[in-house]
Amino acid sequence: MSTLLLNATYEPLTVIDWRKALCLVMLGKADAIELYEDVVHSANASFARPAVLRLRHRVRWQRKTIRFSRQHVYLRDRYMCQYCTVRKTRADLTFDHVIPRTRGGRTNWQNIVTCCFECNQRKADRTPEEAGMTLVKQPYAPRWLPVDTDSERYAATAELWEPYLWT
């Protein structure tokens, strides 16, 4: 199980292993805000696994640029078609170039949106205005990505982490 690490300002920093999280608590560097139900045992004591930690002192950190990838676009758009606003599974989604490639549209954060197959076929090789379609929001390069709580890896953590993750 993983632990969400927050800065002293409650800003999400990263996801760490629960063992490292327990060490941070034991060393007095962080406070456990949320705990998992299961307990780990040492020779002399028992400890609840930390689900969310907050550092006691604020740390400076540099945001890394988010690498452009299909999965990251799906996360940015929250698995929702940016034309019909229906949430779909990964298998039912595709990319859409807002400005078609045949007209010089690039494959980058500012020109790609998540789209269902039906809307992608309807839009075809046109701009949204020409196709009579409107975008939910303009594509942008994200500064951070939400945790993929739809994946099995984070299914158990989604409920505990949700109040600390923002959109």
Q: What is the pLDDT of residues 12-50, one digit of tens each?
A: 888 889 899 999 999 999 999 999 888 888 889 899 999
Using CB atoms within 10 Å of the CB of residue 25, give its burial: 0 to 12 exposed, 13 to 18 middle, 19+ buried: middle
pLDDT in tens, 61-71: 776 788 899 98
DSSP 63: P
CATH class label, 70-131: mainly alpha
| Cα dihedral: 80, 84, 90, 95 (round 10) | -100
Q: So where are the chain's domains?
A: 2-63+155-164, 70-131
Q: How far is CA 66 from CA 53, 85, 109, in A?
A: 24, 24, 10
Q: What percent of the chain has pLDDT over 70?
A: 89
Kindly report whether the global pTM for this prediction surpasses the value 0.75: no
Name residue 25's amino acid: V
Residue-wise pLDDT tens digits, 116-131: 999 999 999 999 999 9
How high does pLDDT run on average in the chain? Answer: 88
DSSP 4: E
CA distance 156 to 27: 26
Predicted confidence at residue 144, as pLDDT, reads 72
